[in-house]
Structure 1
Amino acid sequence: MLQESIKKLVQYGIDMGLTPECERIYTTNLLLECMKEDEYIDPDCDLSNIILEDVLKELLDEAVNRGIIEDSVTHRDLFDTKLMNQLCPRPKQVIDDFNRIYDNHGPIAATDYFYKLSKASDYIRTYRVKKDLKWTCDTEYGTLDITINLSKPEKDPKAIAAAKNAKQSTYPKCQLCMENEGYAGRINHPARENHRIIPITINNSNWGFQYSPYVYYNEHCIVFNGEHTPMKIERATFVKLFDFIKLFPHYFLGSNADLPIVGGSILSHDHFQGGHYTFAMEKAPIIQEFTVKGYEDVKAGIVKWPLSVIRLQCKDETRLIDLATNILDKWRNYTDEEAYIFAETDGEPHNTITPIARKRGDYFELDPLESTCRHASLALAVVLQRRDW
């Protein structure tokens, strides 16, 4: 049974383009070592319909029986990631293949390759993602996507207790750091041995491009700073967003709010999220156009949306960056007590924006979404229509 499972897993790697045929024996031996097995006789088994989830379960059950791992979701996830890494190409090969495809066939072909690899390697556990609940709801603001993510496994009580007693480590500093690539993981940090990162340059600095292991939508990607530095919405944010869009114009890219009071996530590490998907807000129409003095070349309008959203469009992204910076500065300091909007209370700032960038035809586009802990649906629109800037 063990030998059949190993043979099937190696064949899966070859079929999915993870493992070259010439490395069949080498990969088999790597898996034998993982399973603490010295003997191997090539078994005669059906290789026509290999289901990865089933093969991994067989190997995990055997690892439990042999005392290699404990029987818990956490330990199983750590170990099957180790098994999958034996099939995967090294990071440099992935980077070289990505860049070659990008140069010869364009950005869409390159991201198609990388997304397929991220799923085939089981970094994105597609059999778990399929468990997510997804549906749409027609509203006056368009057809909204609603999801309940069930692909992230619940921790069992044993793992929770073990994590509490585990030695605290600061490596990697967080789950978005470059140092996660190839990391074996531990009881309180997920394994990332089968994780691969594409290095990119935005705003003249080193960043990483990867996919989320718990994809909420098609090609849900994460773009993160090569250094462990806090998130901050500022002019450089808009530069980074559009630098990425120029590299991958078929993707959108946005930033979470940079204030914990309005629900920002992993604020300790500068990062963005994007993907190859069209959300309802992108389809939402402009209900009122306006012009900002000094930026007459920028198309601007209020979006029909339940929160305050404006849309800026221009063929020159630098003009959007300039105007977005101006808007951000004004909004940071905006107070309207009658609308119960306060720029700060007791020294704690409240106002920020959630910018989303994309390319639509020949135009660069930016949707700055108003974010504040004191929500008022037209607050940002009021700020934008002031003429005394």
Structure 2
Amino acid sequence: MEGSQVIYDFVSLAIESGGWMKTDRAYIQNKLTDMTGVIVSSNNINQVSNMTAEELCQIIVDMAKDNKANEYQTEEDIDQLKQSIMELLMPPPSVVNAMFAKKFDRSPLEATNYLYWLNQINGYLSGGKETSYGIEFDAPMHGKCPLCFENEGTYEPGSAFLKKTRRFIRLNLNNDSWGYQLSPLEKDKEVGLFFPEEHTTLFMTNLLIDQMVQLVDLYTHYEIHYSQFNYFYGHSFLVGKRVNKDRQILCEYTLPFFKESKLAYDMEQANDVVIQTKRPQDIWLMINYIFSLTVSHKRGLYTMDFDYYLSKTETDYQMIVSIHDNASNKSRDNWLFTLELLKNELEIRY
């Protein structure tokens, strides 16, 4: 494909992304000419091809290496060039937030679909390491925090998160400033990360549950997951994934003092307790009630040994409390004992 055609196609994608207007075409083409040495001619320009932005970017990079070999010699030089090219596809943060808000007013699903599409075409979603627990969030051992607001648009060689194309959405939860972006470690499906602006570690508390409730109220198509292991440099985040209907369980039991809420548990797998309630303010109270059952037996439980998954059905909030795969054998034994006590509580009183 001719160099002019490649650049024309790439600029067309940049305009489609919403960060530029048609009148900006010559300006963007000239920026690419400066980077690559490719002179764009209006002759022989055909209809836009079906190539992806990443494919077009790679061709542009190859042309730049041929035309400006002295400038692009190292892998870091080439990666910097790729980042600069792909950044042309990403509108500035203010535009992304304005477009997201406009679409969110129509539908939260439409808004997250827009952000996912935008991250796909600009190559931010690069894929990651898959484990039995899902995508592994490996934090680099050095460098800048991948979540901090001030690092938006920062490029750091070798980082999956810190790219010039990184954009996030500003949120307000309980008057605290939060951000929402997509994880670059998932290329083929949408995984959202929610994180406070303050560089802080999140703990399972009533306040955090209130914030999780706000998130599922806003993003009803997401299940929000908290784990003590989800952090970078001590900066915690929550994970949002599309709700899996198979995980929405019909609960049949009730607990003392919580007659408007229901509960289910799994004695065979001994992993999960499911809480369903129309009263989100009861979730933290029910978790504490369950965890307190073993206190008199001196077999306490630690909230940090568990994962917490909150979603919203048409009628209820559902919280799944699941002991973490990395929990100690002692914690697992205490959890089994707790479930036995819980079973007796339900059978005796209700």
TM exceeding 0.5: yes
Is the aligned partner of 1:234 residue 2:205?
yes
Q: 1:45-56 counterparts in 2 under 5 A?
A: 45-46=45-46, 47-56=48-57
Hey, what does 1:11 align to over in structure 2? 12
Q: 1:264 to 1:95 in 2, by over 3 A?
A: closer
Report SS of the residue matched to 1:89. Answer: coil
Contact 1:217 1:277 in 2 (8 A): no
Hey, what does 1:90 align to over in structure 2? 92
Per-residue displacement from partner, 1:71-111 (whole Å, max 9, x unpaired)? Answer: 54x654443222111132111111111112222x1212222
Match of 2:72 among 52, 69, 74: 69
2:103 partner amino acid:
I
Is the aligned partner of 1:361 residue 2:319?
no
Shift of 1:118: 1.8
Q: Distance in 2 between matches of 1:51 and 1:358?
A: 34
Q: Distance in 2 between matches of 1:9 and 1:192?
A: 19
Hey, what does 1:116 align to over in structure 2? 117
Shift of 1:64: 3.5
1:381 partner amino acid:
L
Hey, what does 2:238 align to over in structure 1? 272
Q: Distance in 1 between matches of 2:208 and 2:272?
A: 18
Alpha-carbon RMSD across the aligned residues, in angstroms, is: 3.6
Q: 1:334-353 counterparts in 2 under 5 A?
A: 336=299, 352-353=305-306
1:9 partner amino acid:
F
Contact 2:178 2:194 in 1 (8 A): yes
Q: Structure 1, unaligned stretches of length 5 or more?
A: 134-144, 153-162, 337-341, 344-348
Contact 1:285 1:303 in 2 (8 A): no
Moved more, 327-336 or 371-380: 327-336
Q: TM-score, normalised by structure 1?
A: 0.73
Q: 1:100 to 1:328 in 2, by over 3 A?
A: farther
Hey, what does 2:83 align to over in structure 1? 81
Shift of 1:192: 1.9
Shift of 1:365: 1.0
Q: 1:380 to 1:175 in 2, by over 3 A?
A: farther
Q: Distance in 1 between matches of 2:198 and 2:292?
A: 26
Q: Distance in 1 between matches of 2:88 and 2:268?
A: 48
Is the aligned partner of 1:292 residue 2:294?
no
Moved more, 263-272 or 366-375: 263-272
Q: 1:149 to 1:231 in 2, by over 3 A?
A: closer
Report SS of the residue matched to 1:232. Answer: coil
Hey, what does 1:378 align to over in structure 2? 336
Q: 1:283 to 1:189 in 2, by over 3 A?
A: closer
2:305 partner amino acid:
T
Contact 1:350 1:373 in 2 (8 A): no
Moved more, 291-300 or 325-334: 325-334
Hey, what does 2:348 align to over in structure 1? none
1:295 partner amino acid:
F
Q: Distance in 1 between matches of 2:110 and 2:25?
A: 27
Q: 1:153-172 counterparts in 2 under 5 A?
A: 169=143, 172=144
Hey, what does 1:101 align to over in structure 2? 103
Q: Distance in 1 between matches of 2:134 and 2:181?
A: 22
Q: 1:241-280 counterparts in 2 under 5 A?
A: 241-256=212-227, 258=228, 265-266=231-232, 268-278=234-244
Q: Distance in 2 between matches of 1:222 and 1:3?
A: 38
Is the aligned partner of 1:306 residue 2:275?
no
Q: TM-score, normalised by structure 2?
A: 0.81
Hey, what does 1:155 align to over in structure 2? none
1:358 partner amino acid:
S
Alignment coverage as a number of residue pairs: 335
Q: Distance in 1 between matches of 2:185 and 2:6?
A: 26
Q: Structure 2, unaligned stretches of length 5 or more?
A: 346-350
Report SS of the residue matched to 2:167. Answer: coil
Contact 1:3 1:41 in 2 (8 A): yes
Shift of 1:364: 1.0
Report SS of the residue matched to 1:296. Answer: strand
Hey, what does 1:41 align to over in structure 2? 41
2:264 partner amino acid:
G
Contact 2:96 2:167 in 1 (8 A): yes
Q: 1:148 to 1:100 in 2, by over 3 A?
A: closer
